[in-house]
Amino acid sequence: MIKNTLIEALGIEITNIERGKVTATMSVDHRTKQPFGLLHGGASVALAETVASLGAYELVDKETEGVAGLEINANHVRPKTDGVVTATATILHQGKTTMVWDIKITDEQDRLICVSRCTMAVIKRNK
């Protein structure tokens, strides 16, 4: 499912998936930096939506439902120039048609790099 996707292109590695919580890491390198050498905000948002999407997918009936990002916001609170960041998504609300996820992205010292909130749509699949 991850091969040939943005997840693979950015080097995102899923480290834990459980009901209501997902963790993943991403290197801060040439794939994820902006031209000034800092972690690109868009890469952080892609990481945040990835963990929220995977978490939401784990909570739906995979035979009849899918998920898609409906809205995402992010506050970039600390710059990062190298190393690895870790995103942890936890569910705040699980409804029949939407879910809301809280995502915190931290560095190796557990300092907050980015905080995000993502609303996921639960989509009925046609059989």
The tens digit of pLDDT for each residue in 8-66 reads: 999 999 999 999 999 999 999 999 999 999 999 999 999 999 999 999 999 999 999 99
Q: Please list the residues that pair with 124 across neighbouring strands.
A: 65
Q: What pTM value is reported for the model?
A: 0.96
The tens digit of pLDDT for each residue in 54-111 reads: 999 999 999 999 999 999 999 999 999 999 999 999 999 999 999 999 999 999 999 9
Q: What percent of the chain has pLDDT over 90?
A: 96
pLDDT, mean over the chain: 97
* Superfamily of domain covering 6-124: Hotdog Thioesterase (3.10.129.10)
d(Cα 121, Cα 67) in Å, to the nearest integer? 6
User: What are the extents of the domains in the chain?
Assistant: 6-124
Q: Is 71 a catalytic residue?
A: no
Q: Could you say which of 8, 13, 49, 108 is catalytic?
A: 49
Q: For the chain, give me the number of helices (H) and strands (E)?
A: 2, 6
Alpha carbon separation from 55 to 29, 91, 95, 117, 119 (Å, rounded): 25, 8, 14, 13, 12
H runs (alpha helix) in the chain: 6-10, 41-59
d(Cα 14, Cα 2) in Å, to the nearest integer? 10
